[in-house]
Structure 1
Amino acid sequence: MGAIKSLIMLIFFIIVLNVALNKNGKYLKKDIRWQHYLFGCFFILYLMIALEEVGFPTLFEWRILLKSNQPIFNPHINVIPFNNGLEITDVLNILLFMPFGFLLPTLWEKYRNLKPTLYYGLFFSFTIEVSQLFVRNRETDINDLIMNVVGTICGWIIFNIMRKVFYKLADKTVVHIDSNDTLFIKLEPYLYIVIAIICTFFIMVE
């Protein structure tokens, strides 16, 4: 039942986001094509899958901890890079973040430059690592932060390789954000993460 509620919540947010984006686009006479909306849905779904895979905190888990008189704040921190060498989880973190580096430049033109993509990948990864402080049996790890950024860069490279082949599609999915745009359009890349975090946090809630 909780999963159904989360799905309904996700669909509601996607509809509201897309309707607001469409209205803002028409107001600015900005051509936002249906391909952008489609890949935006892929982006939100990917973000939710990524958050669930890394063990993002949920209200369901917090309720269990509180009922058993256990703390919500569970800090386990590693700040020494690769103190145990390269592990399989490091490779998995790279693979997990490759779609992130791929979808950002697919959706927004400014992320077709590496620096903004790298910064956003670092921001999203840092958000995840901070959240690990509030999850039982999870560790805030500098290795994860590094590997996530590497995965973002790899995804960005793959996009630029595939862009040369699917250049027509790449031109249809992208939105150019400039200084004259509304605040909503400027914040669109970040609203996806906000929606994914909200839906993931309330997942499995009865």
Structure 2
Amino acid sequence: MNRIIDFLLLVGKDMLEPIGYLPWGMAVGGVFLLLWEVRYHEKARRQKRNLRQKWSLFFCVVYLTVLLKLALFSREPGSRMGIDLELFGTWNSSLISQAYFIENIIMFIPFGFLFPLADYRFQDWRFCVGGGCVFSMCLELVQLVTQRGFCQLDDVITNTVGTIVGWVSYRMIKRLHDILCSVDGDKHKRKD
């Protein structure tokens, strides 16, 4: 039991770092919204641009900013180098390695959840999961080239699993929303 508590405390402590990057993400997201309004103001006004989509894009920008700050820009160039292509090589008996493994899954859950809200193409699980996998591979390659992180096969696998968890969560919430809306619509029809 103590091991589980220690594990959860370790993961919780590690989650404080990306939370600290939220002001950066919000600032970049705000600039994105401002530029979006300037660029698409007239067109959006005519089309009554989908407010949900605009805010979903905002949160995607916030998420990507925090992710890039965490995985790349918070590290000194040349501080970490190497390639590890061993499958599940990062999972061993130490709590720290297990925490990193789980945190890599958690890190990509927002990708699988937010991107389907922002762009209809990501509602197809293959496109979303493929996008998360490709983004993770690109992140690992940039870490390798800039030596700002270890290039690990496990990271790509766990990030992809996180994307799947996020997409499944998105689908479950969307299905619940659709059911509740159809029940609410049936109530209104009966009153008429």
TM-score under structure 2 normalisation? 0.66
Q: Judging changes above 3 Å, is the alpha-carbon distance between structure 1 residues 35 and 115 closer, same or farther for their aligned structure 2 residues?
A: same
Instruction: Give 2:66's aligned residue.
Output: 49
In structure 2, how many angstroms separate the alpha carbons of the residues matched to 1:160 and 1:82?
A: 28
Aligned: 1:80 with 2:86: yes
Are 1:32 and 2:52 matched, yes or no? no
* Deviation (angstroms), 1:17: 2.9
Stretch moving more, 90-99 or 30-39: 30-39
Larger Rg: 2
**CA positional deviation for 1:78:** 0.6
Q: CA deviation at 1:10?
A: 5.3
Q: Return the alpha-carbon distance in structure 2 between the equivalents of residues 157 and 97 of structure 1.
A: 12
- Cα distance between partner residues in 2 of 1:10 and 1:155: 21
Ranges in structure 2 where 5+ consecutive residues have no aligned partner: 1-22, 93-97, 182-192
Of residues 134, 142, 165 in structure 2, which corresponds to 1:123? 134
CA distance in 2, matches of 1:103, 1:124: 14
Spell out, residue by residue over 1:156-199, the C-alpha distance to the aligned partner (whole angstroms, 9 max, x if none). Answer: 0000000022349x9xxxxxxxxxxxxxxxxxxxxxxxxxxxxx
Distance 1:7 1:31, change over 3 A: closer
Report runs of 4+ in structure 1 exceeding 2 Å deviation: 4-14, 17-26, 29-32, 72-75, 83-88, 165-168
| 126-135 or 114-123, larger mean C-alpha shift | 126-135
Partner of 2:36: 17
Distance 1:6 1:92 in 2: 19
With a CA cutoff of 8 Å and minimum separation of 6, indicate the structure with the bigger relative contact order: 1
**Secondary structure at the counterpart of residue 166 of structure 1:** helix
* Aligned-residue offset at 1:61: 4.2
Letter in structure 2 aligned against 1:159? Y
> 2:184 maps to what in 1?
none
Please tell me whether the aligned partners of residues 89 and 154 of structure 2 are also in contact (alpha carbons under 8 angstroms): no
Query: Structure 1 82/5 Cα, relative in aligned 2: closer, same or farther at 3 Å?
Result: closer
* Aligned equivalents of 1:104, 1:61: Cα separation in 2: 29
Letter in 2 for 1:120: G
Do the aligned partners of 1:104 and 1:111 also contact (CA within 8 Å) in 2?
yes
Rounded to whole Å, the distance in 2 between the matches of 1:5 and 1:104 is 20
- Root mean square deviation, CA, Å: 3.2
Change (3 A) 1:127 1:101: same
Per-residue CA deviations over 1:136-167 (Å, capped at 9, x if unaligned) read: 4x211110000000100110000000002234
**What TM-score do the two structures reach when normalised by structure 1?**
0.62
Conserved in 2, the CA contact under 8 Å of 1:18 and 1:37? no
Determine the structure 2 residue equivalent to 1:179: none
Identity value in percent: 22
Which one has a larger percent helix, Structure 1 or Structure 2? 2
The equivalent residue for 1:182 is none
Aligned with 1:53: secondary structure? helix
Displacement, 1:135? 3.7
